[in-house]
Amino acid sequence: MPTPRALIVLLLVLPLAVTAACRRSRSARPVAESTSPSPDGQPTQPPPVAAPPLLVEHFDGAGALQAWQEVDGRVDGSGTGNGATSTITLVDGAVRLEGAAETNRWRSLERTVALGGATWFRMAARMKTDGLVPDGVHRPMCYLYARFTDAGGQRVGEVVATRNLLGTTPWTPVARRYPVPAGAAHLTVGLFLSLPGRAWFDDVEVAVAAAPAWHEATEGHYRYHWLDGDEIPDHKRRFNSESYRLTAEFLGLDPATGPEVGYFKYPDRAIKEELMGDPGNAFALTDGTMHTIFASDRHEIVHLLARAWGDPPALVAEGLAVHMSGGWQGQSVVAYAKAIPDRDWIALGDLIDSAAFRARPDLVTYAIAAAFIEWTLAQPDGKTRLRALYGKLANRAPAADNRRALEDILGAKVEDLDSQLRAWLRAR
């Protein structure tokens, strides 16, 4: 068992994989061609008998927590510094983790099982949240995680987590399927919360799982990956190649010498979330891979290639990706953004921070971001200014720094820029 300090380090690194990537949310859909076929045909052989789960916990009965252990998950500056500790309680057949504004010591609940030689595993649970607002929280986290140790108790591999579930949500299934690190003999599953509010966990299960049977093919700049019955048709591949060319040319890159893209196609969001941890439609990682439920996807190609310009906050990055995709929700960007009611409009100043951007309704934020990019491009030297925004604003920089950089590049206060954008939309 690692020390509390070691566990603190483990849990701190988990959000970085998400924040380092560009995400398409669950409700967002590209205007370009897309499809999500289901597998064809039936198996010719009966499915194998599944091995018994390694762990099943429904948290029923007063003694349900006896096999679990509370451990320090993180100590940081999220609270007021008075040492208040989060609580873990058995409530109505579920575990509730709870913290307050003054909490700065966050506890997790863990249980360890033997892997028995498994090479892949799947962990799943149901989660419910209440009032988990990330604003002002150092590292807001709420998820199910797994870590691994060898036969001697030494940590091996990386910590694996389900999606980070924030806000107020109903009971929601979460799952991850992942390879077992070499040398791992035991898996420790944990339930974790590190921001004010409440989270419930129930029906935790850990089981041996099969590795995904990826098919692969290379065409042009793409190395395609797909699962049985979900092959990417030729006309979709042609669309992707054209998207690569158009995006590279817009960015001033040579399409002939551009980087290879790993294109992972998933049959649906549930399988995508289980295999790579993100519940959205599509996701581009910093390793040059994109993960999508669509057989053709220009939006994520823009994210990957535009890294040659920089790594700006979501307002700029998502805005450019939607603009390059040709529209939003079946309409032109201008038509969609112009139709946003005044009560639903979100000021540019409230969207500069990426976390704040992601926390707002994506059907609105993505449209406003794309309208902002199109308005910028319509200004004198618009593309030069856009490239400056992409290069000088930084996704991980404080919102105040990005606000100053944006105002310097565009020559006006953010509030005035927001007014100019709305006036421009009304005149179109």
Domains and CATH numbers, the chain: 49-208 (2.60.120.260), 212-308 (3.40.30.160), 310-428 (no CATH)
The distance in angstroms from the start CA to the end CA of the chain is 63
Residue 4: predicted pLDDT = 41
Per the CB < 8 A criterion, the answer to whether 201 and 127 are in contact is yes
**CA 352, CA 348: separation in Å to the nearest integer?**
7
**CA 164, CA 134: separation in Å to the nearest integer?**
11
Nearest C-alpha neighbor of 115 from the set 162, 190, 53: 53
**CA 312, CA 14: separation in Å to the nearest integer?**
21
Per the CB < 8 A criterion, the answer to whether 108 and 191 are in contact is yes
The DSSP code for 307 is G
Per the CB < 8 A criterion, the answer to whether 348 and 402 are in contact is no
Confidence of residue 24 (pLDDT cuts 50, 70, 90): low
What mean pLDDT do residues 249-259 have?
Answer: 93
What mean pLDDT do residues 252-271 have?
Answer: 95
pLDDT tens, 129-174?
999 988 778 788 999 999 999 999 999 999 999 999 999 999 999 9
Residue 131: predicted pLDDT = 94
Describe the crossing of helices 382-392 and 362-377 by its angle, rounded to 10 degrees.
130
Element holding 95 (H helix, E strand): strand 94-99
Confidence of residue 336 (pLDDT cuts 50, 70, 90): very high
Confidence of residue 9 (pLDDT cuts 50, 70, 90): very low
| Among 81-90, 301-310, 318-327, the least confident range | 81-90
Per the CB < 8 A criterion, the answer to whether 409 and 392 are in contact is yes
Per the CB < 8 A criterion, the answer to whether 273 and 320 are in contact is no
Residue 139: predicted pLDDT = 82
- Count other C-beta atoms under 10 Å from residue 351's C-beta: 26
Per the CB < 8 A criterion, the answer to whether 186 and 159 are in contact is no
| Residue 30 pLDDT exceeds 70 | no
> Which pTM does this prediction carry?
0.82
Residue 49: predicted pLDDT = 52
Q: What are phi and psi of 205, to 5 degrees?
A: -140, 140
Q: For the CA atoms of the chain, what is the radius of gyration?
A: 23
Residue 185: predicted pLDDT = 98
Residue 254: predicted pLDDT = 93
| Residue 393 pLDDT exceeds 50 | yes
**CA 370, CA 295: separation in Å to the nearest integer?**
23
pLDDT tens, 349-388?
999 999 889 888 999 999 999 999 999 999 999 999 999 9
Say which residue, 393 or 78, is predicted with more confidence.
393
What mean pLDDT do residues 382-395 have?
Answer: 97
Per the CB < 8 A criterion, the answer to whether 169 and 127 are in contact is yes
**CA 23, CA 362: separation in Å to the nearest integer?**
11
